[in-house]
Structure 1
Amino acid sequence: MRTEGGRAIYHSSRLFIVGAAGVLLAAFLAGCGNSAETRAFPADAAATIDRIVESGMTAALIPGAMVAVVDPDRGTYVKAYGTSDLATGRPADIHDSVRIASVTKTFTSTAVLRLADEGKLSLDDRLNRYVDGIPYGDTITLRDLLGMRGGVYDLDHEPAYQEQLDAKSPTLGWHEGDRLRAITGNPQYATPPNTRTAYSNSEYYLLGLVLEKVTGKPVHEVINDLVADYGLTETTYPVDATMPTPESRGYAYFDETPTDVTARDTPTLYGAGASMVSTISDLAEYTGMLGRGNLLKPETLHARTQSTQARGGLSYGLGVMVSGRWFGHSGTTSGYTTYIAYLPDRDVSVAVAVNQFTRLLWLRADDIWKEIVTELYPGTLGDTPAPSTAPPVPAVDELDAQLRQSLDPAIPAAAKPLRVENDDKDPDLITRLSTVLAQYDPKFQVYRATAVNNSLMALGLAAAPEGKSQMVVPFAAVDGAWRISSGWACNILTASAVPSPACT
């Protein structure tokens, strides 16, 4: 798996197979609001957040969610929704530990930038000064790695690595040192540095090795020292798969029942790229400290927010993602997704975490974050088109019939009842999509349609050869009609190496 712009890009023959269990939904939502911290927060804004979060949980079968908004004008709103442990039914709490995945990169990059501020390394140092044997290591700089411009091979082609993410019961295993052996042993997949921006966990794994070389300490000690300097008490870089208690269990749906994958992720998988654990309470504080540049020189903070563009719309600085006037980071790993970001001109922090991640259940923490920001801070996400008026939510039977016809490759594009967002750039987009999906013979049947602001999520069962599983097809409101999300369609086409002018 590779992530771009907060979205997971999969290279798997089982692209279409995801799983879920709708029967647990009532239990998920029954415990909403079990823990909250509210300081002078307007009731209407709180209600908006609640509506967005709860509809998102319904749409994507999310057991538990946690949200933090810290706004000098509005106040502070930190709240947990739903369930942290499906086995016991324990309600979610704002002090539950969650895996924050690639939000770890913000800590790793800060540790490197702080060493540069202290003169203990230079961002223009070549990688081979610290790590031997990396293709192009004599020309890759630390600045390149921080900005995802190192060209380092990521693990798209490693079966043992991918299996940790894709399989219900992994058998191949992944061990300490496997990542470095993969990077050094596959020079054919490396590219010269500073030629393109391409999101890669490997670049931050290598930065972790740099931190160890410069400081003489294991990377978990380096990052935990940084955490202590921030004054965070519920955040840690663990040494194994153990989660601090109380923890929010992480879930994935490989079939019709949720699988607890809390212990799936270990530091051997991601290293300094995505290994950390935190709580929404700590993230509420940390997002502002990250955004204000605590522990860094002002000029260093300025440099880290200067971004370059990657494929898929990702704008990446030095360890931060930039979206309009916001900067922060997303995180996606087995069982969890997270998104944090800061709005400098208003000193606002917004963080979201959820305890479920399943391929193509689509709606994740970054989507919930975007909906909250769009409602509470309109115009701050950049040159995004004004949202179209959302049409009524269609009847399930009607939507099911429309999807079946639209995803049937035998029906000409002009006769399909649904269109894909941005298909003016590619009139054959729906045909390309239906042709790719037909390879998996999904026999998708919608059983729930949920509106999430100006989006619509069609949840249904896909009966594939491997068995029944769950899938969400997202829609966007365009010109008063529902259209299949171009992001969802392009994700599928990209994973199947099918080009489209609408997906560039």
Structure 2
Amino acid sequence: MMRPAFALLALLTCTSPAYAQAISPAEQARIDKLVTETLDKTKTPSASVAIVRGGQLVLAKAYGKAAETIPAATPALPYQIASNSKQFTAMALLLLEDEGKLYLDDKVSKYLPGISGGDRIALRQLLNHTSGLQDYWPQDYSFPAMARPTTPQQILDVWAKKPLDYAPGTKWQYSNTGYVVAGMIVEKVAGEPLFSFLQKRIFQPLGMTSVVDMDKAIGPNFPQGYGRAALGPVRVETPAAPGWLYAAGELSMTPTDLAKWDIARMNRAYIPADDWDEQERTVRLADGEDSNYGLGVRNTVRDGRRVISHSGESAGFLSLNSVYPESKSAIIVMTNTWSSGAYSQISRGLAEIILPPTSADPVPAAQAATVRTVYNQLRSGMLDRKLLTANANYYFTPTVAADVRSSLSPLGAPVSIEPDGSSTLRGGFVIQGYTVKYPNRTLDLSVFMEPGANGRVEQFLVRGE
């Protein structure tokens, strides 16, 4: 459904006077202090942010160093948004459904042969992560195969032909693999590359002129990704070889352009309103549990406010896009490191400035003794590699292990290691976050384990506060 340009412009710029408030000098000072102090504290090279309030873009500003060749970040630079791309892939299928070219309740086998469970997996289950297809990239680091270029078909040949992790619709488990399948279906039905379809149907009509395939957003004119092992030195990250993110997370863009999409969402503009509604409608599992996930977006309550959100991670980049529909506000934060929680800290801090929270988040208190052994081995430099999977051993190169040891050892023994929230399943691993507490500082720890009492460690990443 296409709308006249003047109607689209009106929908994108309509505001509610009660909410359309420019950023005040006092708010700007608080924002600058929040971002600069968070970047400094977490050793995050840069952040680019955009704020929408009352349906209008009221701030676009960048801070820090975007790359070795770009000492000062600017709002005009496209950052890799990774899994924030999923909402665009999902919307592509919704648009094709509007045209009667496919139906989200169709089975995958109708379009792609050879996919495990393809005769039982509905297209919508690819988009809401209930397909049962095993995730091909659950780790927060690059594994060996990612040094070589790949294709969507090669990804599917390895991961989408494995036995399903569970019967479709019975569990929710994040799966990039499902989105690769979805992207290939878009291309087959539309008769053109996914990126080309999105350009014609979404990016160009909305004036999103900065969008580029992240495989092409590499070089001296683009932001550069960085990483850090525990509290070691900040180092340039090697990007994944071309082809690894595709429909699961291939896009780069500015926060301003992502804000245009958010404003269209708030106003139910350009895209038919029922498609926006369908994308945000959360799926319930076979047992009735609400997954809090729709078609490429989360639909949850944060600090007492409904928020449509998603995060994104690629080699050296993290982002968070949060839309608050009731106040027609949005907060977009993009950072060029995947080794700190700066992106989420900045997003939450900005919400406190422009949308005072209505309630406090619960603070987990249980002590996490289950990961103390590996943590202490890492800080002492005496890592028992039999406790790690082959991928984790690949990640912990001598340089990485030395950075972890040299940065953690001076801190001494932690006071406690406490679980942060509940565990989830993804890519065949049990995933749990932890908070590592010292007398004068707190660190984050991300742990992936094989299931079972003797499961090995697949991921053990320490991030600065």
The two structures have a TM-score, normalised by structure 1, of: 0.67
TM alignment of 1:230-309, pairs within 5 A: 230-237=206-213, 240-243=215-218, 246-254=221-229, 256-261=232-237, 264-308=239-283
- Give per-residue Cα distances to partners, 1:81-110, cap 9 Å, x unaligned: 01112x345200000121110111111111
- Give per-residue Cα distances to partners, 1:304-347, cap 9 Å, x unaligned: 2122489xx97311111123111031111111111112111111
- Conserved in 1, the CA contact under 8 Å of 2:318 and 2:334? yes
Distance 2:100 2:73 in 1: 43
- Give per-residue Cα distances to partners, 1:124-170, cap 9 Å, x unaligned: 1111111111111111111111111111111259xxxx697157xx7
Residue of structure 2 in register with 1:319 after alignment: 296
Q: Secondary structure at the match of 1:95?
A: coil
Cα–Cα, structure 1 residues 195 and 233, in superposed 2: closer, same or farther, change >3 Å?
same
Q: Secondary structure at the match of 2:369?
A: helix
Please, which of 24, 42, 46 is the counterpart of residue 60 of structure 1? 42
TM alignment of 1:488-499, pairs within 5 A: 488-489=433-434, 492=446, 494-495=448-449
Please, which of 180, 202, 222 is the counterpart of residue 156 of structure 2? 180
Residue of structure 2 in register with 1:376 after alignment: 354
- Give per-residue Cα distances to partners, 1:383-422, cap 9 Å, x unaligned: 6447xxxxxxxxxxxxxxxxxxxxxxxxxxxxxxxxxx52
- Conserved in 2, the CA contact under 8 Å of 1:321 and 1:329? yes
Distance 1:482 1:102 in 2: 32
Residue of structure 2 in register with 1:134 after alignment: 115
- Conserved in 2, the CA contact under 8 Å of 1:41 and 1:74? no
Cα–Cα, structure 1 residues 143 and 438, in superposed 2: closer, same or farther, change >3 Å?
same
Please, which of 307, 310, 318 is the counterpart of residue 329 of structure 1? 310
TM alignment of 1:41-80, pairs within 5 A: 41-72=23-54, 76-80=58-62
Write the letter of the residue equivalent to 1:71.
R
The two structures have a TM-score, normalised by structure 2, of: 0.73
TM alignment of 1:78-477, pairs within 5 A: 78-85=60-67, 87-88=68-69, 90-155=71-136, 165=142, 173-176=148-151, 177-187=153-163, 189-225=164-200, 226-237=202-213, 240-243=215-218, 246-254=221-229, 256-261=232-237, 264-308=239-283, 315-324=292-301, 325-358=306-339, 361=340, 363-379=341-357, 384-385=360-361, 422-423=364-365, 426=366, 429-442=367-380, 466-469=401-404
Larger deviation, residues 345-354 vs 279-288: 279-288
Write the letter of the residue equivalent to 1:373.
A
Q: Secondary structure at the match of 1:165?
A: coil
Name stretches of at least 5 consecutive residues in structure 2 with no aligned partner.
1-20, 383-397, 409-414, 422-432, 436-444, 454-465
- Conserved in 1, the CA contact under 8 Å of 2:381 and 2:401? no
Write the letter of the residue equivalent to 1:486.
D
Q: How many residues align?
A: 382
Write the letter of the residue equivalent to 2:326.
D
Cα–Cα, structure 1 residues 267 and 205, in superposed 2: closer, same or farther, change >3 Å?
farther
Distance 1:113 1:471 in 2: 48
Q: Secondary structure at the match of 1:373?
A: helix
Task: State the Cα distance separating 1:245 from its structure 2 match.
Answer: 7.5
Task: State the Cα distance separating 1:75 from its structure 2 match.
Answer: 6.5
- Give per-residue Cα distances to partners, 1:328-383, cap 9 Å, x unaligned: 3111111111111211111112100011112xx3x142332122213431346xx6
Q: Secondary structure at the match of 2:204?
A: helix
Distance 1:234 1:41 in 2: 24
Residue of structure 2 in register with 1:23 after alignment: none
- Conserved in 2, the CA contact under 8 Å of 1:117 and 1:296? no
Write the letter of the residue equivalent to 1:371.
G
Larger deviation, residues 349-358 vs 488-497: 488-497
Distance 2:56 2:267 in 1: 19
- Conserved in 2, the CA contact under 8 Å of 1:243 and 1:277? no
Distance 1:327 1:443 in 2: 43
Task: State the Cα distance separating 1:184 from its structure 2 match.
Answer: 3.7
Distance 2:259 2:219 in 1: 18
Distance 1:464 1:267 in 2: 25
- Conserved in 2, the CA contact under 8 Å of 1:291 and 1:344? yes
Q: Secondary structure at the match of 1:102?
A: helix
Cα–Cα, structure 1 residues 378 and 164, in superposed 2: closer, same or farther, change >3 Å?
closer
Task: State the Cα distance separating 1:291 from its structure 2 match.
Answer: 3.9
- Conserved in 2, the CA contact under 8 Å of 1:95 and 1:246? no
Write the letter of the residue equivalent to 1:467.
A
Distance 2:140 2:417 in 1: 33
Cα–Cα, structure 1 residues 193 and 199, in superposed 2: closer, same or farther, change >3 Å?
same
Write the letter of the residue equivalent to 2:81.
I
- Conserved in 1, the CA contact under 8 Å of 2:309 and 2:321? yes
Q: Secondary structure at the match of 2:50?
A: strand
Distance 1:213 1:74 in 2: 37
Distance 2:204 2:312 in 1: 21
Distance 2:419 2:160 in 1: 38
Residue of structure 1 in register with 2:411 after alignment: none
Task: State the Cα distance separating 1:112 from its structure 2 match.
Answer: 1.0
